[in-house]
A and B are shown apart, each in its own frame.
Chain A
C-alpha cells in the first residue's frame, strides 16, 4: 500500500505516489529558483508544468494508475536540469536582462569592458575601451598618451585597467565587448572576420576593416560617444587632481617640501 496525493497539473488531475509527488515539487522549486529574475520566468514555469502534464499523460497511456517516482524521473531527465533553463544570452545580471527586455526590439546589447586581444598595441585596453564607447581606438590611445605626457599618471592608470579588465577570450566575450547581441548571425560574422584576418595573414586587413567600421557605424555614433568619453576623461582628471591635491596637502602637512 502506498499513500498518494492528487495534484492538478496543466488543468489535469493526476494521482501521484508520495515519493513521486515530492520529487516533482523539488524539481519545480529548483526550476523557479534557477529562473528567478529572468524574463518570463512565470510563463516558463507554467509552460513546463503543461509540458509535464502532457508527458505524464503519454506515460499513463490511458491507464488509470498513480504516477510513480520512475515516471517523474524520466520526465525530469527529458526536460533537463533546472540550470539548463537559464538563457546564456541573458547574461548573469538579472536586472540587466530586465532592462534590455524593456528596450524595444533588437537593439545592440550592452557593451562590456574587455581587453581586445585582436587589435592590441600593449594589453588591448585602449581597443577594448574604444569598443565600450563606440569610438575609434586612436581616440582612446591619444587620451592615454595625453595622460602620460601631461599628468604622468596615464601609465599607472593603464596598468590598473589592464589588471581589472578581463581579456575577451571566447567569441561571445568578443561580441559582448563589441556590444553585438549574441546570435547566430553575429557569431558567424565574428568567425568570418577572424577567418578572413587569419587567411589573408596581413596586418593591414584589420586596419582596413576598422576604417570601414569607423565610417559606416562609428561616425554616426561618434558625437554621442565622444560626449561620454569627454565626461569620462573629465571625471578621471577630477579624481586625479583630487589625488594630487591630497598628496600635496599631505606632503606639506608632513613638512616634506623638497618635492615641489
Chain B
C-alpha cells in the first residue's frame, strides 16, 4: 500500500514514524470491496508493546483466514501524534489500509492491564466514535473488549458494546455470522446486540442494571433485556491441539519489546498459586503436542526470519515434553543461528544444563519467583517452592559458574507479618552465605543477588478476591522496612533491593475489583488529559486524585476493604468454570497456611473438569 493516513509533514515531526505506516512482513492486505466485515484489532498501548503480544497475532491470523473478514491492526498513537491528531481532527486509522477506524464494522480492544483504560478511551475518541456505548448509532463500529481485564469488565462497561469473555478461538465466527445475518435482514445496532447476547461468552453490558445497598455493595445485578443471560460462560478452546496458530506472524520493522517467534506450548497452569489470576481463568491446563511444536518452530522461523525463539506458557517446567523440545531447539536453532530465550524455568539440574548450553552464564542470571520471604507465607499463597529447593538450585548454579541471582517477591500479601518481610533479606543473605562456602579457588568472583518486589493486588477469580489490599502508606512503610532489613545483613554489599511504585499499584487495585461507578471517574481523568497511565512518566496522579474526589469515590472501598464471602461481587455474573465454593475453600485454607496439591498430584475439585479435557483427564483414559 502506498497510501498513508498521515501527511509527510506529520510523519517527519513525530518520533518513530514507522509505527504508523503498516506494510510489515506478513501483514495482510485484502480488497476492501470483497469483504463483508472489517475488524480493527487494537492493543491500547504504543506499537512496540502491542506488537509483542501473542494474542492479537493469533486472532489476526484466525480472522484473516476467513474469506469475508479483513482484520487490521491499530495501536495507541504516542502522545506526540495524539496531540497533532486532536488539533487537526485526524481520525485514527488502521495500519494495513490506513482507512479510518470509524468506517469499520468492529473495533476490538484487548485489555491486558488495568492501567490501559484511558488509552482505551483515547483510541475510541481519536477514532471519532462516541465514548459511551449508549450514545453510539447504527453507523458506528461495534466496540468489543476481551483479554484478562474483561473478567471484571465493570469499570469500563459503559464504553463497550460487547465483551468477549474467555479465549478468542471459540465463538467469533458465530458473532460474525450474526452480524452478517443482521445486516442482510436490515436489522439495527440493537438487533445485533441482542443476537450477540444469545451467543455463549458474549456479555452486553447495556442489557443489565445494577443496584447498590446503602453501604455501597451490590444489591442486585439483573438483566433488563430478555437476551441478557444470567451467567456468562467463559469460553475455552478444548481442542487446543488443533486450534489455529499463526504460522506467519506479522514481523514489525521497529524493534518490538518481544521481537521473536513465540511457541505456545501450554495454556493454563497446574500450580494453583492463590494470588494468580491467570492460573484460575485459563483452567484447565492444556498442552500442545511436541511434534507439532517442532514443526511450528521451523516453519515460523522460516516465515519470519526472527533471530530468537521462545516458549509461551504459565509454567514451562510443567510441560511434559520439555526435555525433548529443548533438545530439538538447541540442535535445529543452533544450525540456523537462532537464539533460544528460555522463559523462567524451575531451577534444577535439567534447566541449569539447558541454560548453560544456550546462554553465556557470565552474563545471564538465575531467576527465582519466590514471591514471599518465609515458608509460612509461601504456604499461604500456595507457592510450591521451598527454601530447600531455592538453596539447592542456587548452590548447583553457583557450582556451575553462575554468580548472578534474581528474586521476585510480593509485598502486601494477606496475613503478612514483619517476620515474613524480614524473610526477604534473610533469604537473600542465606544464598550469599551459601555462595561463600564454596572454596575461593573454585569461585568466579563475587556473588550478586538482586531482589525486586511488587505490591500485591488482589484479583477477581482468585481465592484472594475477598482480601484487603494495603494502602499506599502501608506498602511504602513495608518496602522501607525490607530495605532496612537488607542494610542489616552481613553480605549487604552483594545484595540489592528494588521495589515498584506504589501509586500505580493502588490504581490497579481500584480497577481490578471496581464496579460500574468508576466509569465517570475514568472518563473525567481522560478528559483532563490522562493517557498512557501505565507509563510512569505520563501518569498524572493529581488528575486522577481530583477525579476520584469529584465523584466522591472512596478508594478504600475498592482496595482496603476486606469483602465478606456473602457479598455480590461485580464480576459474579461471569462463570469461569472454577466454582465459588472452591475459591472460598482456598481462601480459608490460605488463612490457615495450608497447601493445596497441584492438579497433577491430585484433583482439588475446582470445577474446571467440567470442560471435559486437559490435565483433569490426563492418564485417565
A binds B: no
Seen from chain A, the residues whose Cβ lies within 8 Å of a Cβ on chain B are none
Seen from chain B, the residues whose Cβ lies within 8 Å of a Cβ on chain A are none
